[in-house]
Amino acid sequence: MLAISYFFTLVVLAFYSLNNVAALIPTREPAKIYPDLIPGPGLPSLEELGLTSEQLYTTIPTIGKFSSSTSSNGREVFSRSAKYNSVCETYTTGNVDSVIACYNYLQSIGGNSCGVNGDNVRFCSSGDAQVTGSNISGTGSAASLCRDVASALQWIFTNCNSGGRVGGSRAAGGNGFLVVGVENLVW
């Protein structure tokens, strides 16, 4: 009986020692994988901008005034459209992190024109989210600076975020006929 008790004590001590040694060995976190961000047609690639999807996903967005830009006389121009009221949607949503990655991308090309020739275009997609533009002018095209599209997008992910899911639409600054939307990519 003494031999069994002695053996049991040795096993317990060995197990305890192994657990303590294992706690001292550093473990590596698995590398986080970020979905590819895909720019819309005619917009610069991430390679052209020297950016990666990881950078766009890990950059905290700079928060400014919603849908505003500065006109040539220095006054702010806000997104106001007699034809469109901003809305939040829950039937088609994308992950907020993917939407913010698209926001960061559009901010990075802020001075470029983001336009819609025809009715609709996809400005950006990543993960399960897509950022779209719709032309509600009744004419062949509508455009705003990409930073104004990003500003409308900021309003959407700030006001239409439900449990990390985002969906909605808002007119872009500088051109109320260009409506920016967030939808599920597979919708």
CA angle, 44 then 47 then 52, to 5°: 105
CA 40 to CA 146: how far, in whole Å?
12
pLDDT of residue 62: 78
pLDDT tens figures, 170-186: 999 888 899 999 999 87
**From CA 17, how far away is CA 118, in angstroms rounded?**
70
- Which residue's structure tokens are 């500065």? 70
Whether the pLDDT of residue 29 is over 80: the answer is no
pTM: 0.76
